[in-house]
Amino acid sequence: MPPRAQAAASLAPVDEREREFSALYRAHFGYAWRTLARYGVPRASLEDAAQEVFMIVLRRFGTWSGRASFRAWLHGVARRVASAQRRRQHRHQRKLEALDQRGEPPRVALDQQLDERRRLDALAEAIERLEPRRREVFVLTELEGLSAPEIADALGCKLNTVYSRLRRARADINREMAAHYGADHG
């Protein structure tokens, strides 16, 4: 087979998959939008949430087995995206409420600021020293606010693996912080 024919043959399944995805996107975007709205996603966030749904669909397109209808599968994806969206909103709202309750931040003495800075630097170093897979899970959980099931989906690993890595990462960081805290204050 000539090189051009080989290249065209290798691209054909991708083109077909793109066409199939595009057709499903056009046919079901409104359904995803309405489903997200029914699950409480605010109107201002619907566009982003719908795009997130289809990004997940695109990423997992090959995993849809056809056991259920595409629409049922899409509904499940939209439900999980809406749930994650609500969790993010609630966390954001709680942070705003906490800021409102505190009012103006108190003036902190310079030595307290330096102490806090040293603790943050020690924490950043402890995170950097984590084994890469543990660091990845720790950052996604603690800094990015993803849930364990979301991380398992994102990393393509089992949920218990995520919990195990997170537990070990937290233990490693606690151990390092205790050692650092003891060294600074001992």
Per-residue pLDDT tens over the stretch 76-123: 899 999 999 888 888 888 887 777 666 555 566 777 888 888 888 888
Q: Answer yes or no: are the C-beta atoms of 134 and 172 closer than 8 Å.
A: yes
Mean pLDDT of residues grouped by 10 in the chain (186 residues)? 51 70 88 87 89 90 70 87 88 79 62 82 88 89 84 89 95 90 55
Q: Answer yes or no: are the C-beta atoms of 162 and 155 closer than 8 Å.
A: yes
Residue ranges of the alpha helices (H) in the chain?
Answer: 3-38, 46-59, 70-102, 110-129, 132-138, 148-155, 159-185
Which ranges in the chain are annotated with CATH 1.10.10.10? 110-185
Which ranges in the chain are annotated with CATH 1.10.1740.10? 14-102
- Residue 185's pLDDT is 44
User: How many Å apart are CA 57 and CA 77, to the nearest integer?
Assistant: 8
Of residues 44, 112, 28, 113, the one with CA closest to residue 78:
28
Options 3.40.50.10860, 1.20.58.710, 3.40.50.300, 1.10.10.10; which CATH number does 110-185 get? 1.10.10.10
Other beta carbons less than 10 A from residue 178's beta carbon = 10
Q: Answer yes or no: are the C-beta atoms of 70 and 28 closer than 8 Å.
A: yes
- Within 113-155, strands assigned E span none
Options 1.10.1740.10, 1.10.10.10, 3.40.190.10, 1.10.3720.10; which CATH number does 14-102 get? 1.10.1740.10
